[in-house]
Amino acid sequence: MTFRPAADIGMTLAEVDTPCLVLDLDAFERNLDRLDASLAGRTVKVRPHAKSHKCPHIALRQMARGAVGVCCQKVSEAEAMVAGGVPDVLIANEVVGAAKLERLAVLARQARIRVCADNAANVRDLDAAARAAGVVLDVLVEVNVGANRCGVEPGEPVAALARAIAACGGLRFAGLQAYHGSAQHLRSVAERRDAIASAVAKVQSSKVALAAAGLPCDYVPGAGTGTYLYEAASGIYTELQPGSYIFMDADYARNDWTESGLPRFEHSLFVWTTVMSIQGSGQVVVDAGLKASSVDSGMPRVADIAGAEYVKASDEHGVIRLPAGVALALGEKLRLIPGHCDPTVNLYDWYVGVRDGRVAALWPITARGAVL
């Protein structure tokens, strides 16, 4: 509901009011470069996840560098991407309920849309919606490759659901969605590598079952920022779905990234905040609390001030403990690194893109709040 952009083009960063979501455009572009460089020589495609940025401006920049489209989690998110000019969206999630299925099928008239399923009743509903809209929908089977959230079990259950899809006049069996969500934040390289090895085995057994059912499968998307190099190296994944790599939040930064070949994505997304109260020495209150930075994956981190710690968030306030010898003045502004980028982005209506210390871009987050 905040239609007014959070800043004006050309302002210095110091002039930008707070709290707002600042994107360091150079760092963001270096992260795009790092992803590309890390995949040089591979045939695997990239389809970044738009649930992280919720912004067609960013999606189109990813596609300009070779991404084949984007992923979304929600139909309304996909609608925002298509409205913003993205021609190819994979909804890497199940879509349940008549209202959403109707919107999904109508959207498939305007853009290339694929969707996932993990349930035979849902497949029947997808078929009915596709027929009603006069489209043929591409449906992937989501495989539970280890996260134990959505998805059918690997092997024969995958083949059974694929057969059900293929038997529907309104649907086409389009491949296997094989994202291992709970592997992304395993802290050690070895844990993440092992988790993806296990996921790959589950995809393989599923492909064997599909082949036996006469349903060859040449489209296997999956992977996130924490693991994508392992999926890329597997030879079995055909598309990668990282989202957070463009921003690199505080929680992802707690992963061990030291393995050779792993790109060192840098923080590009910041919550810009002002010191609004000073309580004696050693502690200040800033104007960014729970409504400015999501704390589900830990508190935001204070950038630029070694030893400063954001220790407590309430709705509109954040308490920062300062190291000995550091003082901040009332009105001073500082950058916070969000704990978790996705739900933090979802609090804002605008990115304030900054380059060389000035506002150089204002990108609306048109899929903010797109939960349907």
Nearer to a copy of itself, 15 or 259 (CB): 15
Nearer to a copy of itself, 236 or 292 (CB): 292
The answer to whether 132 and 105 are in contact (CB under 8 A) is yes
Between strands 269-278 and 283-286, the pairing is: antiparallel
The answer to whether 22 and 304 are in contact (CB under 8 A) is no
Nearer to a copy of itself, 29 or 155 (CB): 155
State the minimum distance, in angstroms, from the CB of residue 151 to a copy of itself: 8
State the minimum distance, in angstroms, from the CB of residue 330 to a copy of itself: 5
State the minimum distance, in angstroms, from the CB of residue 107 to a copy of itself: 14
Q: Which of 177, 327, 173 is nearest to 239 (CA)?
A: 177
Nearer to a copy of itself, 97 or 357 (CB): 97
CA distance readout (Å), 332 to 17, 22, 286, 308: 11, 16, 9, 14
Residues that bind a copy of itself (CB under 8 A): 1-2, 6, 15, 17-20, 51, 73-74, 76, 80, 93-97, 99-100, 118-119, 121-122, 125, 144, 148-151, 181, 274-279, 285, 287-288, 290-292, 294-296, 313-317, 319, 330-331, 340, 342-343, 346-349, 364-372
Nearer to a copy of itself, 241 or 274 (CB): 274
HSE-CB of 326 using CA atoms within 13 angstroms: 14
State the minimum distance, in angstroms, from the CB of residue 298 to a copy of itself: 11
State the minimum distance, in angstroms, from the CB of residue 176 to a copy of itself: 16
Nearer to a copy of itself, 188 or 277 (CB): 277
The answer to whether 263 and 227 are in contact (CB under 8 A) is no
The phi-psi region of residue 41 (left if phi > 0; otherwise alpha if psi is between -120 and 50; otherwise beta) is left
What distance lies between CA 168 and its chain's CA centroid?
31
Angle at which helix 98-107 crosses helix 120-133, to 10 degrees, equals 50
Nearer to a copy of itself, 35 or 365 (CB): 365
HSE-CB of 361 using CA atoms within 13 angstroms: 19
State the minimum distance, in angstroms, from the CB of residue 173 to a copy of itself: 19
State the minimum distance, in angstroms, from the CB of residue 272 to a copy of itself: 11
